[in-house]
Structure 1
Amino acid sequence: MPIKRKSYREIVNDIIKRLGESYEQFSYVKDKRKYVLPGRVIDILGVEGFSRGLRKTFRRNVDYSLSENFIEWIDGGEKPDENSTFTVIYKSQKPEITDTNPGSVVRTLIEAISREIEYLNELVYQAYLSGFIDTASGDSLDLVVSLLGIRRKPPQPASGYITFGRRTEPETLQVSEVILYNGSVEYPLKSRFVKDILNVKGVTSSSPAIYRKNIDYTIIDGRIRWLPTGLKPDEGSTFTVDYVAYREITIPKGTRVSTYSPRPEEARTYVTVEDAVLKPTGEGVWEANVPIVCTAPGSWGNVLAGTITVLPQPLIGVEYVINKGDITGGLEAEDDRELRERAKHALELAGKATLPSLETAVKSVEGVGSVLVKDMPDGIPGIVKVIVDGGDPDKIVEAIEMTRAAGVKVEFSRPKTVYIDVYLTLIVDRRISEVNVSRRVEELIRSYISSLRIGDDVLFSKIISLTLDVEGVLDVSNIKITAHRAGLETIEVEKENIEIGDEEKASARNITITFRKVEKV
C-alpha cells in the first residue's frame, strides 16, 4: 500500500479537523435498523465496521441514511456482521473542543505534537522508499540489489609504475668467493653486479693454477662460465674468485612515494607492491621500474607522467624517483545510478548470448568503468566488438567467454585515449586566493572529464558551468580546449565541444589556468 508523505502543515490541519469530529460505537444487532446518536447531528462523515469478515467503509444513501439524530440501515445495502462493532464518525452541533485558534492552549499542543508526528512520518516514508530499486539509495539500495546477488563495486585505487634510479655508479666492494667445482659449465656469483674480476685460482691436475679471463673463463650476467678449450679446476675441488662488485641497492616492498604539494594533505601517496633492485641500463644510469598502487582508492590517484617525484623517506643509494608513464585506473565507488541500472539488467544475464547480457556481464567485473558493445562493427555477421575501460583483462575475457553465444567471435579491446588540455582565464575578485580557486577549478574539470564514458563528448558548456560554480569566480574568458590523438593532428576549439569517437575515451592531461583580478563592487 502506498504511503503518503505529509507536511507539518497538513498534519496540523488534519488534527484540527479531527477535533471537530465525534465518534460513537454501536454493536450491530440483526433486524435492528435504527441507531440513535447523542445530541444534534450536523452531518455524517463516515461509518466503518466489518462486513463478511473484512473491514469496510459503508456508503451513505446506499448502505445507510441519516435521519435527524440517528442512522438507519437500508434494506438491500451492505450491513455489519452480526454482533460486530461499527463506528459512526459525525459532526456534532456542539463539539467538545471549540478554541483551536493560533495561540490557544489546544493549538499550541497540536503544533508541538505535529512536529514529532512529521518526523515519524518522514522516517516511515523513507523506510517505504528504501524497499524499491527506483527509490532506495545508499545502504538501502545495497540491500535491495543484494536480493539479485549484486554488490556495489568498491572504489579502485590507481596503479602504474614508478622508476627509482641514480645517475652515478653505486659504491663498490671487494669480494672473495669460494666455489665447489662439480663439472658444471656455469656458476652464479653471490653478487649479481660484477664490475671486474681480480683473479680466479684453483687446482688443476692436482697443481695450483691461476685461470685466465676470456681464455679459461668468462663472466656473463654475474655468472662465471668455463670455456671448453681452457683450463678447468679438478672435479670435486674448490676454486676462488676475487672480484669487485657493485653494492646492491634494493627497493623494499611498501616503499612510499608521492606527488609534490606545498600542503602535505594534498599530496597523493603511493606504495610499491613488490621488492626491486636497481640495475644498470644502456643509458649509463641505474634504475628499477616498480609497480605501485595509490594508498587512497578513487580517481584522486590518477596522475600524469612526471608528477610523482617525492620519496618521503630517502633510500640509501637512490638519487631520484619519477613516474615515466601515467598512473591510471583509479575509480570512484559505483554510484546509485550506475548500481540501479546494472541491477535492472541483472536478469538479462540469465538469457545469455545477447548483447545486453554481454554488456551486463562485463560491467559486473570489478574495476570496469564503462563498456561499449558493437554488433558487426565492420558489417561482418558473427563478430561482436567489446570496448572496455578499466578492469582486469583476464577477468573481462572470462566474463565474455561465459556469456557469448556459440559461434560468435567477440573482440575485446581498450578505448583509444584522447588527451584533453584545457586553457582558461578566470576573472576573480582581488581578495580571492588564486591558489584555492585554481585547485578547486582543476579538481572539478578533471573529475568531469574522468567521469565521461566511452564515446562521450567533452562539453564546452559543462566546463564553463563547473568553473562558474566555484566561489570567487566572477567570469571565464579565453577558453581553449585541445584534443591530442596519437599519430593525428591536434584539434583546438574555443567555443565548441570536443567530439569523441565511439571507440575513444577522453582523458584530462593539462589544465592551465590564468587569472585576471577585478575590484568587485
Structure 2
Amino acid sequence: MLSETTEEFVYSKNVVRYILPGKVLDVTSVEGTVNGVKRTFTRDVDYKFYENYIEWVYGGSRPDDGTKFIVAYKPERVEITDTSPGSVVRTLLEAVGREIEYLNLLIERAYYSGFIDTASGESLDLVVAVLGIRRKPPQPASGYVTFGRRSEPEAIQVNGEIIFYDGSVEYVLKNRFVKEVSKVRGLSDGVATEFRREVDYTILGNRIRWLPAGRGPDQGTTFTIDYTAYREITIPKGTRVSTYSPKPEEIITYTTVEDSILKPTSGGSWEADVPIVCTVPGPRGNVLAGSITVLPQPLVGIEYVINKVDITGGVDAESDRELRDRAKRALEIAGKATRPSLETTIKSVEGVSSVLVKEAVDNVPGIIKVIVDGGDAEKIVEAIEKTRAAGIKVEFSRPKPVYVDVDITLVLEKRFPEAEVSRKVEENVRSYLSSLKIGEDVLFYKVAALALAVEGVKDVAEIVIEAQRAEGIVRSEKENIVVSDEEKVLARNIRISYRMVE
C-alpha cells in the first residue's frame, strides 16, 4: 500500500492552480477553512485533479482568502519524511553520520600527527625519530636489600681435604668460611708430620699460609687439612622480596639481580647486601628505608630481610610534553658547552626524571652545579664530561629528599564503597607528589582538588601535610609546602580517613 503525504498551500483568490511536488497518483482529500469553518472540499465539484496539480472549479466552494488549505495525496515515489528520534530513517541517518564523523576525526588526527606540537603517543614517537630521539621507557625502582641471620650458620666438618704442595706460600681451602682448623698433616723431610699452627702455618680466612721459619711439606707431595667450616647460605638470583600490606593489591614486589651469600659482620650477625629491582616499572616501586621486610618464599638459613636505604629510581615513561620539549631542544646538544645543551644531554640519559642546572654557584664564575634525580650516576657524569666547556667545573649531586606525609579526612556519600574511593584518592595524591620536579612546591589546594575529583567524595573536611627534612618537620593545614631549588619531594605516607553522609 502506497504511503499518503500532504502538502500545505496558502489560498489566494487570484490563483486557481496549485502544483504538487513530483508526480502524483491520486489526491485523496483537500481540507481548508470556508467562512471561518473547517471543511473538506468535494472533488470535481470544488476542485479537479490533473497529473501533478489541482485546480479550483468555477462556482464551487473555495477556502477563505489568505488561509491555509491542505492537500492529501499519494505520490508516485514515496519520500522519507519521518525523521523523529527512534524512527528507522533517523536511526539509519545517525549511524551513517557517526561513521562519517569518525572518519573525519581520523583524517584530522592523521593530519595533526605529523607536527611535533600536535602529535601524541605513537605518532609523536615517529615524528621525533627523525631527530634520532626515542621516548624514554618507564624505569623500575632499584636499590639494595639486606638478607641476614643473627646466629652463626650450621657448622660442617671437613676431614682430610687434600692439597698438592708446589712450593707456594698460600693455598685456598674449598670452603669459604673456615671456623677452625684442627689438623694439618703431610710429609716433611720424608717423615709423616703434624704441622703446628702459628709455628709452621697460619690461617687467614679460608687460606693456609706457610711460615718461612717453620717446617713445610716436601716439594711435590700432598698435605691434608681437617677443619670445621660454616655452611654457605646462598641468596640466588631472582629471589623475590616485598613490602608488607594487609591489602594484596598494595604489596610491592622486587627481585634480586645477582647471586650472593651471607658473610659475617663485625656485629656478630651474618648478612648480604643484594641489589634488587622492582618487578613493575614506575614510581610505585620507590619506597623508604625499612619498607621491604617480607620474603614470600622462605630461604634456608635466612632469618630476616630489610632495606636499610631508600629504594629509588622508579619513573614513568617519558610523557608527551617531556618528549616534545626534549625534541625541540635536541639541536642544542650539537652546540655543546652551553647550559641548555648540558641540561638536554643529561635529560637524555635513561632514567633521569628531573634536572636543575645552576650557574655561578656562590657567585663564583666558572662553576656550574647540576642536580639530577634518577638515572645512573656514571652515565650522568659521562654525559657531563662530553658536554661541559673547557675550564668549567661541573658539580654533580642528587636532590635532598623532602619526605611528605599527607593525612586527609573525607566526607563520602554512602552509596559509594569507601575502600575504593579511598584507594583512588591515595593514588591521585601519590601520583601528584611523585610527579613534582626538583624545587617544585607541594600545592595545598592541588591536593584538595585531587581528592574532590574522585567520584563519591562530597567534601574534604581536613588536610594535614607534613614535610620532614634533616632539619626538622614542617606541618601545614592550609599553606603550601615550600621546597628549595636543591630539594625534591618524596611521597611517604598517604593516610585516608572518612565519615559518611546521606
- 1:342 corresponds to: 326
- 2:216 corresponds to: 232
Using the alignment, how far apart are the partners of 2:283 and 2:308 within structure 1?
19
Structure 1 window deviating more from structure 2 (145-154 vs 278-287): it is 278-287
Structure 1 window deviating more from structure 2 (376-385 vs 139-148): it is 376-385
After superposition, the C-alpha distances for 1:241-273 in whole angstroms (9 at most, x for unaligned) are 101111111111111222233444442221111
Counterparts in 2 of 1:466 and 1:116: CA distance versus 1, 3 Å: closer
Counterpart selection for 2:354 from 370, 373, 383: 370
- Aligned counterparts, 1:21-170, within 5 A: 103=83, 113-170=96-153
Counterpart amino acid of residue 213 in structure 1: R
* Offset, 1:140: 0.6
Counterparts in 2 of 1:435 and 1:284: CA distance versus 1, 3 Å: farther
Using the alignment, how far apart are the partners of 2:467 and 2:95 within structure 1?
61
* Residue 382 (1) aligns with residue 366 (2): yes
Question: Contact 1:173/1:246 (CA < 8 Å) preserved in 2?
Answer: yes
* Offset, 1:364: 0.9
Q: Identity percentage over the alignment?
A: 67
Using the alignment, how far apart are the partners of 1:349 and 1:505 within structure 2?
26
- 1:87 corresponds to: none
Using the alignment, how far apart are the partners of 1:278 and 1:356 within structure 2?
47
- 1:77 corresponds to: none
Question: Contact 1:101/1:107 (CA < 8 Å) preserved in 2?
Answer: no
Question: Contact 1:100/1:107 (CA < 8 Å) preserved in 2?
Answer: no
Counterparts in 2 of 1:110 and 1:271: CA distance versus 1, 3 Å: closer
After superposition, the C-alpha distances for 1:364-418 in whole angstroms (9 at most, x for unaligned) are 1111101111121222222222111111122212222222223222222211111
Using the alignment, how far apart are the partners of 2:375 and 2:273 within structure 1?
22
Question: Contact 1:99/1:106 (CA < 8 Å) preserved in 2?
Answer: no
* Offset, 1:111: 5.4
Counterpart amino acid of residue 352 in structure 2: V
Counterparts in 2 of 1:107 and 1:462: CA distance versus 1, 3 Å: closer
State the secondary structure of the residue aligned to 1:490: strand
Counterpart amino acid of residue 83 in structure 2: G
Counterpart amino acid of residue 499 in structure 2: K
Using the alignment, how far apart are the partners of 1:285 and 1:133 within structure 2?
58
- 1:415 corresponds to: 399
Q: Aligned-residue CA RMSD in angstroms? A: 2.4
State the secondary structure of the residue aligned to 2:146: strand
Question: Contact 1:218/1:227 (CA < 8 Å) preserved in 2?
Answer: yes
**Unpaired runs of at least 5, structure 2:** 1-76
- Aligned counterparts, 1:445-456, within 5 A: 445-456=429-440
After superposition, the C-alpha distances for 1:135-193 in whole angstroms (9 at most, x for unaligned) are 11100111111111110000001101111112222111111211122222221111111
Counterparts in 2 of 1:353 and 1:170: CA distance versus 1, 3 Å: same
Question: Contact 1:375/1:383 (CA < 8 Å) preserved in 2?
Answer: yes
Counterpart selection for 2:384 from 397, 400, 424: 400
After superposition, the C-alpha distances for 1:24-70 in whole angstroms (9 at most, x for unaligned) are xxxxxxxxxxxxxxxxxxxxxxxxxxxxxxxxxxxxxxxxxxxxxxx
* Residue 517 (1) aligns with residue 493 (2): no
**Unpaired runs of at least 5, structure 1:** 1-96
Q: How many residues in Structure 1 have an aligned counterpart in Structure 2?
A: 422
- 1:494 corresponds to: 477
State the secondary structure of the residue aligned to 2:472: coil
Using the alignment, how far apart are the partners of 1:110 and 1:251 within structure 2?
68
Counterparts in 2 of 1:98 and 1:254: CA distance versus 1, 3 Å: same
- Aligned counterparts, 1:179-258, within 5 A: 179-258=163-242
Counterparts in 2 of 1:450 and 1:516: CA distance versus 1, 3 Å: closer
Question: Contact 1:331/1:367 (CA < 8 Å) preserved in 2?
Answer: yes
Counterparts in 2 of 1:212 and 1:384: CA distance versus 1, 3 Å: same
Counterpart selection for 1:457 from 420, 423, 441: 441
* Residue 304 (1) aligns with residue 304 (2): no
After superposition, the C-alpha distances for 1:417-455 in whole angstroms (9 at most, x for unaligned) are 111122333333567555444433333222211110011
Using the alignment, how far apart are the partners of 1:106 and 1:315 within structure 2?
71
Counterparts in 2 of 1:212 and 1:435: CA distance versus 1, 3 Å: farther
Counterpart amino acid of residue 189 in structure 2: S
- Aligned counterparts, 1:471-482, within 5 A: 471-482=455-466
Using the alignment, how far apart are the partners of 2:245 and 2:468 within structure 1?
27
Using the alignment, how far apart are the partners of 2:490 and 2:272 within structure 1?
27
Using the alignment, how far apart are the partners of 2:104 and 2:79 within structure 1?
26
Question: Contact 1:102/1:108 (CA < 8 Å) preserved in 2?
Answer: no
Counterpart amino acid of residue 511 in structure 1: I
Counterparts in 2 of 1:181 and 1:446: CA distance versus 1, 3 Å: same
Which of structures 1 and 2 has the bigger CA Rg?
2
